[in-house]
Amino acid sequence: MTISKTRAAAKAFAAQMLIIEDLTADRLAEQFITWVERTVDKLVERFPVGKWGMKIAYNDPWYPNYRIAVQFMRVEDGKVILQREWLEKRAKQIGREQAESMSAKLARKLDGVTDLEVKHINGGDLTLAGKRKGASVVIQQSTVTKVSSKGTWYNQWPALIYVDGKRVTEKNFLAGK
Protein backbone atom coordinates (compact mmCIF):
# COMPACT_ATOMS: atom_id res chain seq x y z
CA MET A 1 0.00 0.00 0.00
CA THR A 2 1.38 3.41 -0.90
CA ILE A 3 1.72 6.25 1.58
CA SER A 4 -1.00 8.29 -0.14
CA LYS A 5 -3.42 5.35 0.07
CA THR A 6 -2.52 4.89 3.73
CA ARG A 7 -3.21 8.57 4.44
CA ALA A 8 -6.49 8.42 2.52
CA ALA A 9 -7.52 5.33 4.45
CA ALA A 10 -6.57 7.01 7.75
CA LYS A 11 -8.61 10.11 6.85
CA ALA A 12 -11.61 7.98 5.87
CA PHE A 13 -11.32 6.01 9.11
CA ALA A 14 -11.07 9.21 11.18
CA ALA A 15 -14.17 10.60 9.44
CA GLN A 16 -16.11 7.40 10.21
CA MET A 17 -15.02 7.53 13.85
CA LEU A 18 -16.20 11.16 14.17
CA ILE A 19 -19.62 10.23 12.78
CA ILE A 20 -19.90 7.34 15.24
CA GLU A 21 -18.72 9.60 18.06
CA ASP A 22 -21.30 12.30 17.25
CA LEU A 23 -24.18 9.80 17.06
CA THR A 24 -23.03 8.18 20.28
CA ALA A 25 -22.61 11.44 22.24
CA ASP A 26 -26.24 12.49 21.73
CA ARG A 27 -27.58 9.07 22.73
CA LEU A 28 -25.36 8.87 25.82
CA ALA A 29 -26.55 12.34 26.90
CA GLU A 30 -30.16 11.11 26.61
CA GLN A 31 -29.30 8.01 28.64
CA PHE A 32 -27.73 10.12 31.37
CA ILE A 33 -30.80 12.38 31.60
CA THR A 34 -33.08 9.33 31.82
CA TRP A 35 -30.82 7.78 34.48
CA VAL A 36 -30.88 10.96 36.61
CA GLU A 37 -34.68 11.29 36.29
CA ARG A 38 -35.22 7.68 37.36
CA THR A 39 -32.69 7.94 40.16
CA VAL A 40 -34.32 11.09 41.57
CA ASP A 41 -37.73 9.38 41.47
CA LYS A 42 -36.34 6.36 43.32
CA LEU A 43 -34.57 8.55 45.88
CA VAL A 44 -37.78 10.50 46.58
CA GLU A 45 -39.64 7.20 47.09
CA ARG A 46 -37.02 5.83 49.52
CA PHE A 47 -35.89 8.85 51.51
CA PRO A 48 -37.88 11.60 53.22
CA VAL A 49 -37.50 15.09 51.82
CA GLY A 50 -37.11 17.74 54.48
CA LYS A 51 -36.82 21.49 54.37
CA TRP A 52 -33.13 21.24 53.40
CA GLY A 53 -33.31 18.17 51.18
CA MET A 54 -32.72 14.46 51.70
CA LYS A 55 -30.73 12.83 54.45
CA ILE A 56 -28.80 9.82 53.22
CA ALA A 57 -25.98 8.20 55.17
CA TYR A 58 -22.69 7.99 53.31
CA ASN A 59 -22.62 4.21 53.86
CA ASP A 60 -26.11 3.71 52.37
CA PRO A 61 -26.01 1.72 49.09
CA TRP A 62 -27.91 4.58 47.42
CA TYR A 63 -25.36 7.21 48.42
CA PRO A 64 -23.19 7.01 45.25
CA ASN A 65 -26.31 7.54 43.10
CA TYR A 66 -27.42 10.37 45.37
CA ARG A 67 -24.04 12.12 44.94
CA ILE A 68 -24.65 12.33 41.21
CA ALA A 69 -28.37 13.15 41.28
CA VAL A 70 -28.16 15.81 43.99
CA GLN A 71 -26.23 18.07 41.61
CA PHE A 72 -29.42 18.47 39.58
CA MET A 73 -31.92 18.73 42.44
CA ARG A 74 -33.25 21.57 44.50
CA VAL A 75 -35.87 21.52 47.22
CA GLU A 76 -38.78 23.94 47.29
CA ASP A 77 -41.59 23.62 49.84
CA GLY A 78 -40.49 20.10 50.74
CA LYS A 79 -40.55 18.91 47.10
CA VAL A 80 -37.61 17.90 44.94
CA ILE A 81 -37.38 19.76 41.64
CA LEU A 82 -34.99 18.84 38.85
CA GLN A 83 -32.84 21.65 37.52
CA ARG A 84 -33.50 20.68 33.92
CA GLU A 85 -31.28 23.32 32.25
CA TRP A 86 -28.21 22.32 34.27
CA LEU A 87 -28.99 18.62 33.78
CA GLU A 88 -29.18 18.98 29.99
CA LYS A 89 -25.98 21.04 29.83
CA ARG A 90 -24.06 18.56 31.98
CA ALA A 91 -25.55 15.59 30.08
CA LYS A 92 -24.15 16.98 26.82
CA GLN A 93 -20.70 17.29 28.41
CA ILE A 94 -20.86 13.78 29.85
CA GLY A 95 -22.20 12.36 26.58
CA ARG A 96 -19.33 13.94 24.65
CA GLU A 97 -16.69 12.78 27.18
CA GLN A 98 -18.02 9.23 27.18
CA ALA A 99 -18.31 9.17 23.36
CA GLU A 100 -14.69 10.29 23.04
CA SER A 101 -13.65 7.54 25.45
CA MET A 102 -15.66 4.97 23.49
CA SER A 103 -14.24 6.22 20.18
CA ALA A 104 -10.65 5.90 21.41
CA LYS A 105 -11.21 2.37 22.67
CA LEU A 106 -13.06 1.39 19.50
CA ALA A 107 -10.29 2.80 17.31
CA ARG A 108 -7.81 0.56 19.13
CA LYS A 109 -10.05 -2.47 18.50
CA LEU A 110 -10.37 -1.56 14.82
CA ASP A 111 -6.64 -1.30 14.17
CA GLY A 112 -5.97 -2.87 10.79
CA VAL A 113 -9.65 -3.30 9.88
CA THR A 114 -10.50 -2.06 6.40
CA ASP A 115 -13.75 -1.66 4.45
CA LEU A 116 -15.42 -0.63 7.70
CA GLU A 117 -19.21 -0.59 7.62
CA VAL A 118 -21.62 0.41 10.40
CA LYS A 119 -24.37 -2.23 10.52
CA HIS A 120 -26.18 -0.97 13.65
CA ILE A 121 -25.80 1.94 16.03
CA ASN A 122 -27.80 2.93 19.11
CA GLY A 123 -25.76 5.07 21.46
CA GLY A 124 -22.67 3.09 22.40
CA ASP A 125 -24.24 -0.17 21.24
CA LEU A 126 -23.06 -0.82 17.73
CA THR A 127 -22.19 -3.49 15.21
CA LEU A 128 -19.37 -2.92 12.73
CA ALA A 129 -18.17 -5.13 9.90
CA GLY A 130 -14.99 -5.04 7.88
CA LYS A 131 -11.95 -6.97 6.71
CA ARG A 132 -8.63 -7.66 8.35
CA LYS A 133 -5.88 -9.62 6.64
CA GLY A 134 -8.45 -11.00 4.20
CA ALA A 135 -10.77 -12.28 6.95
CA SER A 136 -14.23 -10.88 7.62
CA VAL A 137 -14.50 -9.15 11.00
CA VAL A 138 -17.64 -8.29 12.96
CA ILE A 139 -17.44 -6.30 16.18
CA GLN A 140 -20.52 -6.07 18.38
CA GLN A 141 -19.92 -3.47 21.06
CA SER A 142 -22.31 -2.78 23.91
CA THR A 143 -22.52 -0.14 26.60
CA VAL A 144 -22.59 -0.93 30.31
CA THR A 145 -23.44 2.02 32.57
CA LYS A 146 -22.09 2.00 36.11
CA VAL A 147 -21.76 4.23 39.15
CA SER A 148 -18.56 4.01 41.18
CA SER A 149 -18.59 3.81 44.97
CA LYS A 150 -17.44 7.44 44.96
CA GLY A 151 -20.45 8.55 42.90
CA THR A 152 -18.95 8.78 39.42
CA TRP A 153 -21.17 7.85 36.47
CA TYR A 154 -19.27 6.03 33.72
CA ASN A 155 -19.57 3.51 30.91
CA GLN A 156 -17.70 0.38 29.99
CA TRP A 157 -17.48 -0.81 26.38
CA PRO A 158 -17.27 -4.62 26.17
CA ALA A 159 -17.17 -6.07 22.67
CA LEU A 160 -17.75 -9.43 21.05
CA ILE A 161 -15.35 -9.90 18.15
CA TYR A 162 -15.89 -12.44 15.37
CA VAL A 163 -13.30 -13.31 12.72
CA ASP A 164 -14.75 -15.35 9.86
CA GLY A 165 -17.73 -16.15 12.09
CA LYS A 166 -15.62 -17.47 14.98
CA ARG A 167 -15.57 -15.57 18.27
CA VAL A 168 -12.15 -14.43 19.42
CA THR A 169 -11.06 -12.59 22.52
CA GLU A 170 -10.11 -8.93 22.24
CA LYS A 171 -6.62 -9.79 23.46
CA ASN A 172 -6.09 -12.39 20.72
CA PHE A 173 -7.66 -10.13 18.08
CA LEU A 174 -5.36 -7.23 18.96
CA ALA A 175 -2.39 -9.61 18.97
CA GLY A 176 -3.34 -10.68 15.43
CA LYS A 177 -4.15 -14.27 16.38
pLDDT digits (tens, 9 = 90+) for 139-163: 998 888 888 888 888 888 888 999 9
pLDDT-derived band at 42, boundaries 50, 70, 90: very high
Among candidate residues 132, 158, 130, the one with its CA nearest the CA of residue 146: 158
pLDDT digits (tens, 9 = 90+) for 54-112: 888 889 999 999 999 999 999 888 889 999 999 999 999 999 998 888 888 888 888 78
pLDDT of residue 161: 92
Please provide the DSSP assignment of 117-154 as one string: EEEEEETTEEEEEEEETTEEEEEEE--EEEE-TTS-EE
